[in-house]
Structure 1
């Protein structure tokens, strides 16, 4: 652990020494890693590039929270015969700092219109060691084939290939990615059903006059192996994004993802960094002994995971409206699927609404709230509902430094008596400091 921390510190120091260079040079058709990426969604497409030679941009992100949460449940005791412990006994949590998280980003301009992104988690809740989160190659020109090859097409088209988070829905543009939290107005562990996974993929975009079209394909697998077969996952996005006038911007997108067959589909539990709310509604006994538990979700505290690992179809609709300093972002999602032991599909629905007001010089301050609800049917037949309220705000000290605070309240209803989530509830406050460059 000590060696890993020293390694992380060395890499972070290297990133800081390159900060001046990183800020002086911004890769074409990439979103910046600071305040300028708020509400940016897909990077803007510009066929006029500034490439002159291979360039490397070193960046990173750091985040630290102080958590003041309390939790409770009404689950009946589940005693494991081999250990004699109650697997539904919750962690004893108190006010304290969480593990500091850190990212390392390497962005490379490889050729005119060809860029590379790689993100590494230096420190995360899931692993003590440093590991690669994912990356991709982005192609905005085909001049490496021939000068001005398909110029009229590539003026509006983009090709992305890699193993990273896919562009399903718009909620992932506002989520926290381990230490990268500057575009998330809340500290919340993202929305309840967090459609996030680092699958291998290929995406083709076409954007023109505010219209957005994208088609993509993946194998739907987080970990790759030639010893296990799978079927292709297909997905698409269609939308419209327009700055109507200096005061009003309107965006509306719809996305669909379909996986016909998989032996393991980590679509709603693929975030290897883990939930931002630490240890809530999780069992200390399970963590310390490995005892079985019918409801514990290690690293997925506070999340809703539908358990669709074999077949799944998901649809997400996201409206976004900003008028002067007031902005609204919404999510409606419906997903049906099954796991390997089921014959029939089950369905989950999710609703989320954020209302924020940004003010001050260059919108340096903001406050607002979010309501998020997910409901669906468990594999055991129960209809469950989870509701979360967030109220909070933030202060951008600079475009790279953000301080956030929030109050959260989350309740679980409908879970069976033996589930650790039966009568589950947590609430309290969280404070977060974020640096990103």
Structure 2
């Protein structure tokens, strides 16, 4: 995918040069059925379903995001088994960058592609994923099934799968503008698989069904069972309505289920890495555990995950919650295990156009670990942010995370990290 991303950079430059020469640049940069990457995209979940078309020929929107953090975090553990931790000092982390290509291909048809130009786990460009989205079928025949398609969206690609609502608020490498905090959830449900999703939205109700091949890394090679992959099933049902000028409510329930997959990455697919660098890692380690600070229940070959997400916004005050249960196992295990996650965040936005906010989040994971132990992890985050413009956000966070009930032979035994993160984000 790195070769593809380099090729796409050349294509982007050529497209932009052609647009400049033809003086056909769309300066308002609007595309139908699109979630804006700036402040207008905050508290947007599924991209809106436009009823009025603005299509006037193929339109290429090149965008991007940049993020830089200053970290001052300390970590410790019981060190009973000789697991001395790395000392994490105070300094800047690697600056991260995304490039987005969104193309209106036809009336009601668009494409999205995201490339990570720089990320914690890969400092070279590589493609995250993308999709082809259809909101009208006029390319078949003008007005074809228009009564159905005014409520229906079809999305196909190697893409970020729509399991739960938390992934709409998480930081996606450099796209950290939607996230009022610096870190994502402890059990960070996020994966990119090849598949298709069909949405039906009407009068505030949302329904979605999707299928994927259950694989993060694509391959036609057969495993020892003779399979080249498996299948995952996705579903979402919910309600989202602006009840009046002051009050908006949303509640969704989501399902992610596999029969058999060679390796489930639902809680380990983010190759961009966690936001807290070099925490809870062995002093003797010569490599970066880029997923450290997260928890992966390692339900490797079989998983059923359910997530409920309430969201309420009354004027400047908003609440977003996560209740999640994941059950499954690896092939080598005889019995299923369960991991539960709970999170609640309360944000208050104020100032001109709600450009300033303060908030807090509590996050708890309670799980039957693959080691056979019942463990828990809890985290508290306190954050504040300022949208200097709709494309520029600066934010700060105090975080404390505790590891409970991990055994004496674990590096996480009586583990804790805490400190301050500062982050600047540009997204356009």
Same fold (TM over 0.5): yes
Matched, 1:70 2:74: yes
2:3 paired residue number: none
2:426 paired residue number: 435
1:161 paired residue number: 156
1:172 paired residue number: 167
1:344 paired residue number: 335
Matched, 1:240 2:239: yes
- Separation in 1 of the partners of 2:13 and 2:394? 22
- 1:239–1:404 CA distance, 2 compared to 1 (3 A): same
Offset at residue 92 of structure 1 (A)? 1.7
The answer on whether the counterparts of 1:74 and 1:423 sit within 8 Å (CA) in structure 2 is yes
1:219 paired residue number: 213
The answer on whether the counterparts of 1:348 and 1:377 sit within 8 Å (CA) in structure 2 is yes
2:118 paired residue number: 123
TM score, norm. by length of structure 1: 0.91
Paired residue secondary structure (2:284): helix
1:397 paired residue number: 388
- Separation in 2 of the partners of 1:153 and 1:8? 35
- Separation in 2 of the partners of 1:151 and 1:398? 38
1:407 paired residue number: 398
Paired residue secondary structure (1:350): strand
- Separation in 1 of the partners of 2:415 and 2:27? 45
Instruction: Write out aligned runs for 1:247-396 (5 A).
Output: 247-288=246-287, 298-396=289-387
- 1:401–1:234 CA distance, 2 compared to 1 (3 A): same
Q: CA RMSD in A?
A: 2.3
Offset at residue 9 of structure 1 (A)? 11
Offset at residue 12 of structure 1 (A)? 11
Offset at residue 235 of structure 1 (A)? 1.1
- From 127, 140, 147, give the equivalent of 1:132: 127
The answer on whether the counterparts of 1:15 and 1:59 sit within 8 Å (CA) in structure 2 is no
The answer on whether the counterparts of 2:76 and 2:416 sit within 8 Å (CA) in structure 1 is yes
Task: Provide Cα deviations, 1:10-44, integer angstroms capped at 9, x if missing partner.
Answer: 99999999999565121100111100011111111
- 1:21–1:101 CA distance, 2 compared to 1 (3 A): farther
Q: Number of aligned pairs?
A: 414
The answer on whether the counterparts of 1:12 and 1:60 sit within 8 Å (CA) in structure 2 is no
Offset at residue 380 of structure 1 (A)? 2.1
Structure 2 spans left out of the alignment, 5+ residues: 1-5
Matched, 1:147 2:146: no
The answer on whether the counterparts of 1:22 and 1:58 sit within 8 Å (CA) in structure 2 is no
Structure 1 spans left out of the alignment, 5+ residues: 1-5, 79-87, 289-296
Offset at residue 256 of structure 1 (A)? 0.7
1:47 paired residue number: 51
- 1:284–1:340 CA distance, 2 compared to 1 (3 A): farther
TM score, norm. by length of structure 2: 0.93
Paired residue secondary structure (1:203): strand
Offset at residue 232 of structure 1 (A)? 1.4
- From 29, 34, 42, give the equivalent of 2:33: 29
Matched, 1:192 2:186: yes
The answer on whether the counterparts of 1:336 and 1:348 sit within 8 Å (CA) in structure 2 is yes
Paired residue secondary structure (1:153): helix
